[in-house]
Amino acid sequence: MPPHAGAWPGGPVPPPPPRSPARRLSAPLATLAGVSAAFAYVGTVDPNEPGHYPVCPLLRFTGVYCPGCGGLRSAHAFAHGDLPAALGANALAVVGYGLFGVLMTLWLIRAVRGEPMRLAISSVWWWGIGAVLALFTLVRNLPFGSALAP
């Protein structure tokens, strides 16, 4: 590394100025507001009534349930506090709601403390997530996995 890399003409690079608490909380709170608004909309506009939402193209053209099929019905049931119905519509989505809640809590705690939120997920985890999605899709489309079908 050259001796001048990462240095100002007058010395090392100074740390960035501290951000205000309002500025640090703006991104996680905006994300939380957007997701809350989406859940409020899905909770208000029932996906069980036809005509409000588009049909899954994979299901429509092939008859195969994708990992997201039943996700809107799951979100609607979850927004109404009906956990058994949410799990019945899409159990993987309910797991996703829980993971989102954990990540949002972690993000908010780190923002309050002034720590950056960095998620470094290795390729092994990405392959594992892909394998879980593929297995969920496969099982819910087989006769013995009909309990996972929406």
Residue from 48, 89, 53 nearest 69 by CA: 89
Give residue-wise pLDDT tens across range 24-69. 899 999 999 999 999 999 999 999 888 888 888 998 999 999 999 9
What pTM does this model have? 0.78
In the beta sheet, which residues pair with residue 11? 8
Tell me the CA distances in angstroms from 111 to 18, 43, 77, 99, 120, one per residue in order: 12, 29, 31, 18, 17
